[in-house]
């Protein structure tokens, strides 16, 4: 039983081509988006080590890194979609990485916050309540791929801060 597809997107790109192409390698979340089942969840899991690395930096530096990941993601996701021949292919998970970093942006580090942030981000990213779903359906290109996850990250981040203020997490 293979956990990977043989080819990806309408252009039938192989896993080896994805791993060798820097844009596709990033877009596929360092390879985490190659899995058949739940690539978005795997992409978000791939964001956790990146978050743990970023969380050790001063807040201003975390902010700069998160903005770079997010703004750069517009180009990365747009280029990847063009290479794949398919808009917002589910293996493109750079948007999940940015969304998770946004979720955790204003949270103080704790393992509770790390896990709850993951759960909250996946909740908003999967269910896509308004306006996230509208953006997902109506905004095209790299911006469209990224923007719904940015909004999911913001919603999850606000809820994470509410949980902290209520003493649910430390």
Over residues 26-40, the pLDDT tens digits come to 999 999 999 999 999
Domain extent, residue 154, equals 15-165
Q: Which residue has the tokens 């794949």?
A: 84
Whole-number average pLDDT of the chain: 96
3-class SS string, 55-119: CCCCHHHHHHHHHHHHHHHHHHHHHHHHHHCCCCCCCCCHHHHHHHHHHCCCCCCCHHHHHHHHH
In a domain, 37, yes or no: yes
Predicted model pTM: 0.96
For 119-131, what is each residue's pLDDT tens digit?
Answer: 999 999 999 999 9
**In this structure, is residue 4 part of a structural domain?**
no
Asked if 81 and 145 touch (Cβ cutoff 8 Å), the reply is yes
In a domain, residue 112? The reply is: yes
Provide the b/e sequence for 1-40 (b: ≥16 CB within 10 Å).
eeeebeebbeeebebeebeebebbbbbbbbbbbbbeeebb
Q: Is residue 170 part of a domain?
A: no
pLDDT above 70 covers a percentage of the chain that reads 99
Q: Does residue 2 sit within a domain?
A: no
Residues 19, 20, 26: CA angle, nearest 5 degrees: 55
Q: How many domains does the chain have?
A: 1
Q: Are residues 28 and 91 in contact, defined by beta-carbon separation less than 8 angstroms?
A: yes
Query: Is residue 5 one of the residues assigned to a domain?
Result: no
* pLDDT tens-digit map of 26-77: 999 999 999 999 999 999 999 999 999 999 999 999 999 999 999 999 999 9
Q: What is the mean pLDDT of residues 155-159?
A: 97
Residue 66 lies in a domain: yes
């Amino acid at each position: 039983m293979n956990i990977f597809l043989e080819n990806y997107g309408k252009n039938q790109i192989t896993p080896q081509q994805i791993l060798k192409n820097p844009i596709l390698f990033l877009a596929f979340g360092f390879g985490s988006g190659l899995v058949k089942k739940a690539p978005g969840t795997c992409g978000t899991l791939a964001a956790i080590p990146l978050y743990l690395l970023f969380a050790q930096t001063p807040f201003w530096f975390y902010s700069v890194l998160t903005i770079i990941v997010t703004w750069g993601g517009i180009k990365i996701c747009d280029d990847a979609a063009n290479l794949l021949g398919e808009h917002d292919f589910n293996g493109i998970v750079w948007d999940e990485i940015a969304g998770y970093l946004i979720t955790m942006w204003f949270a103080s580090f704790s393992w509770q916050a790390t896990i709850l942030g993951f759960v909250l981000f996946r909740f908003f990213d999967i269910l896509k309540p308004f306006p996230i779903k509208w953006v997902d359906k109506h905004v095209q290109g790299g911006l469209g791929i990224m923007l719904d996850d940015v909004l999911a990250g913001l919603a999850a981040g606000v809820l994470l801060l509410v949980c902290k203020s209520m003493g649910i997490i430390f």
